[in-house]
Amino acid sequence: MDGNLSPSAPPALREYYRIMSEGPEAFGDGSTLRPLLSERLDFTGAMAGHRPDATEGFLQGVSGFIATVEGLDILREVHDESSSAVLYDAAMPGGNVRFAEFFTFDGAGRIDTLHVHYDGADYLAKGGR
C-alpha cells in the first residue's frame, strides 16, 4: 500500500495517511491515530453525515475502512498553512473507490476538521464497511 504524501504535507497528515495505508496493525486500537486528531474533531462523511464532536466516533468508523482497504493511490494533494486537500483512490476488495478529503488543522497541528467526499453506495458495494 502506498499512502505517502509529499514532504510539503503537514506532519500530522503524513502520519494519518501512513496509518491509513498500513492496515489494522498500524491502527491497532486507534491509539496511534488519536494524537493526530483534535479533541473535538468536526467530521462530515457520506455515510455518517455531519458530526461536530466526532473524535471517538471517527476512530470507531475508520477502523472498518482500514480493515478493508487494500491500498491507497494518492492522486493529488494541496496544502497551505492551515488546510489540506487530498484526492486518492482506495483499492477495495471489489475495486477502486475515489475519495476527496478536506482538512483544517488546529494551533497544535492536529486535524481539527475533516470532510470526506465519496460515493457511499459504491464504497459498500466494493466491500467497504
pLDDT tens sequence for the chain (129 residues): 456 899 999 999 999 999 998 889 889 899 999 999 999 999 999 988 999 999 999 998 899 899 999 999 999 999 998 999 999 999 999 999 999 999 999 999 999 999 999 999 999 999 998
pTM of the model as a whole:
0.92
Residue 1 identity: M
Q: Decide if 23 contacts 1 (C-beta within 8 A).
A: yes
Of the candidates 83, 86, 103, 91, the one whose C-alpha atom is nearest the C-alpha of residue 128 is 91
Of the candidates 95, 33, 46, 102, the one whose C-alpha atom is nearest the C-alpha of residue 69 is 95
What pLDDT is attached to residue 3? 63
What pLDDT is attached to residue 1? 41
Residue 93 is placed in which grid cell? 476488495
Place of cell 488543522: 105
